[in-house]
Structure 1
Amino acid sequence: MQAASHLRGAVDTLGGATMGTTWSVKLVTRPNVDLHAIHARIQARLDRVVAQMSNWTAHSDLSRFNAASAGTWHALPDDFWTVLACALDIARSSNGAYDPTIGAVADAWGFGPSGPHDAPGQVPADLLASVGWQRIVIDAATRRVLQAGGTQLDLCAIAKGFAVDAVAAQLQADGIDSALVEVGGELSGRGRKPDGSAWRVIVEACAGDEDDATPARVLALDSLAVATSGDRWHRFEHDGQHYSHTIDPRSGRPARGAPLAVTVAASSAMLADGWSTALTVMGVDDGFAFACRHDLAARFVAAGACGREERMTPAFAELLQA
């Protein structure tokens, strides 16, 4: 366990590893609270998410579904059901810019559990035929999903956000009313710090890039979550060709013209995570127009003729802190 600042009435910090990345929690605790027990419950909660939805874990519920025979029904545990239901809703609302059935194609590009390929992008037509959120048949009464045959779910673009929400809910159950939760860069804040101020976070376009003159933006997270996706962190080059790690499910290829960064603020980290991916796939112009029409709080940063260009929806601008 990583822990610091044990003065009660101050901010304690816990941290660890999950989902191939790290997690951290800053929390305000009461006197005599057992931080080791809180840490253990947080880690156990994250481990449960991994056990259900990791496509990198051979025996996860998701991996077993992906490997199942056509025509078989599978009862989903609560977390898996919640995330899949949200993923399908975002897929439907975004007209497929986000699609949880992208697993086989993402793997073919070297972004899945098979690892990097020598010749990325050689995606057979039958794999493309397996993509389509409309192929998912669910039985809401029994919380079961049908494996239609060849369907490969990939919830990486939304499960990390859900993990943030799950940890926040665990902390509330433990009587922790004020905390800032982070998993791999996705964040959720609730309550106030000991001095009465909100949890404030900096939203940067290209952290660590000396050439980035785009101003950092500050958000106050009080019952608010934020997630960032984009080409800046998720890309690779092969034979001189630049590829985004974000796959456009509609073409089966890396998203063309993906923004450097898309940040979304929402009521849950799961929603922020999923929508940041969908808007990245849509691109700056279409994504920005969509976000404005649907009152999404989103910030786009893209490479322009005069350097990096920033566009914020009205809903995002209203959240900015001076």
Structure 2
Amino acid sequence: MPAQRHARRIVHSLHGETMGTTWSARVVAPADMPLHHLQSGIQQCLDRVDDQMSTYKPHSALSRFNTAPAGTWHALPQACFTVLTHALRLASDTGGAYDPTVGPLVNLWGFGPAARPDGTPSDSAIAEALERVGWWKVKLDAANEMAYQPGGSYVDLSSVAKGYAVDLAGTWLDGADIPSWLIEVGGELKGKGMKPDGSPWLIAIEHPDASGQHGRVVSLSGRAIATSGDYRRSYRSGEQTCSHHIDPRSGKPVRHAVASVSILAAQAMIADPLGTSMTVMGPEHGLAYARERDLAVLFLLHGEHGFEERMSPAFAEAMRA
């Protein structure tokens, strides 16, 4: 009997801070298992991503690339190169609706490391920033994991780095023989396995009006979810609400009816930047893109009588799974 009690597994909760936000994890492990090893292991995974890809840290690998002279090649750490490669592929596939070189525009509109401007940027300032934007300008050398700085390119991986960090922490937990877990970093989540009672990890999609209400409930046992919404980061300047979702093609915040977008995918690195992509594309183009690629996408739109749902066939199927 004592041996059976020793083997009993429960859900432990861990949490911490990284990347300017918070993280949490729920892990299924023996009731008497010391947790400091799991806590430090997850923290180290997340901080490694932040140390490589932060635009707020001047000595990160990404910051050094962003300030490098024109016409130079730079070796990147494996994680940073992996994330940049994925980001550039998605930029190509979305026709620039998603673009990791959008950094100059993000900074211009007050959502980067620099101080927020007193008003909205002028057309000339936007045009000047757009001259530095263009995912195709950044070349990659896959064999040597190097990236080419054409001059003035400022890569911002904030829309994909948290998702990659979630995947990385999950892989670390797998290596630590944790059979079931749920990890969240800054709102990006991924789950694996079942809880001790055999039930899946269930997550209620956050409502985009900061009311505390929740929408649909989805299972995350074996997949990730990312939700992107203007309610997370925006500000008002005069009569205009400025969203942190900048359209890299126009240089301005998106101004359509999208309240939030939720993406289900096998990996958080896939789901994370797709939320940004869908928000910039809007519901018509975004859902067409999702249907063509069998992506699980849920839009919540501002309607005349409240929020309206629109989802891709793959998301509807995922809800039934």
Tell me the TM-score range normalised by the shorter chain: over 0.9
Q: TM-score, normalised by structure 1?
A: 0.93
Q: Which residue of 1 aligns with 2:90?
A: 90
Secondary structure at 1:218 match in 2:
strand
Contact 1:244 1:258 in 2 (8 A): no
Could you tell me how far 1:34 is from its partner in structure 2? 2.7
4+ aligned runs moved over 3 Å, structure 1: 30-33
Distance in structure 1 (CA, Å) of the matches to 2:103 and 2:87? 13
Distance in structure 2 (CA, Å) of the matches to 1:63 and 1:207? 34
Q: Which residue of 2 aligns with 1:158?
A: 160
Structure 1 281/227 Cα, relative in aligned 2: closer, same or farther at 3 Å? same
Distance in structure 2 (CA, Å) of the matches to 1:203 and 1:77? 34
Contact 1:181 1:187 in 2 (8 A): yes
Alignment length (residue pairs): 314
Q: Which residue of 2 aligns with 1:3?
A: none
Q: Which residue of 2 aligns with 1:264?
A: 263
Could you tell me how far 1:120 is from its partner in structure 2? 3.1
Distance in structure 2 (CA, Å) of the matches to 1:284 and 1:173? 39
Q: Which residue of 2 aligns with 1:221?
A: 220
Q: Which residue of 1 aligns with 2:195?
A: 193
Secondary structure at 2:107 match in 1:
helix
What is the letter of the counterpart of residue 163 of structure 1? A
**Unpaired stretches in structure 2, ≥5 consecutive residues:** 1-5
Q: Which residue of 2 aligns with 1:282?
A: 281
Distance in structure 2 (CA, Å) of the matches to 1:233 and 1:44? 26
Q: TM-score, normalised by structure 2?
A: 0.93
Q: Which residue of 2 aligns with 1:148?
A: 150
Distance in structure 1 (CA, Å) of the matches to 2:64 and 2:8? 45
What is the letter of the counterpart of residue 241 of structure 1? Q
Q: Which sits farther off after the overlay, 156-165 or 225-234? A: 225-234
Could you tell me how far 1:119 is from its partner in structure 2? 2.4
Could you tell me how far 1:88 is from its partner in structure 2? 0.9
Could you tell me how far 1:124 is from its partner in structure 2? 4.4
**Unpaired stretches in structure 1, ≥5 consecutive residues:** 1-5
Could you tell me how far 1:93 is from its partner in structure 2? 1.0
Q: Which residue of 1 aligns with 2:137?
A: 135
Distance in structure 2 (CA, Å) of the matches to 1:205 and 1:293? 27
What is the letter of the counterpart of residue 28 of structure 2? V
Contact 2:100 2:156 in 1 (8 A): yes
Distance in structure 2 (CA, Å) of the matches to 1:236 and 1:291? 29
Could you tell me how far 1:32 is from its partner in structure 2? 5.0
Distance in structure 1 (CA, Å) of the matches to 2:313 and 2:7? 40
What is the letter of the counterpart of residue 318 of structure 1? E
CA deviation profile, 1:226-284 (whole Å, cap 9, x unmatched): 00012232321101212211000011111121511000000101110010110000012
Secondary structure at 1:156 match in 2:
coil
Q: Which sits farther off after the overlay, 25-34 or 53-62? A: 25-34
Secondary structure at 1:103 match in 2:
helix
Distance in structure 2 (CA, Å) of the matches to 1:314 and 1:69? 46
Contact 2:257 2:302 in 1 (8 A): no
Aligned sequence identity (%): 47
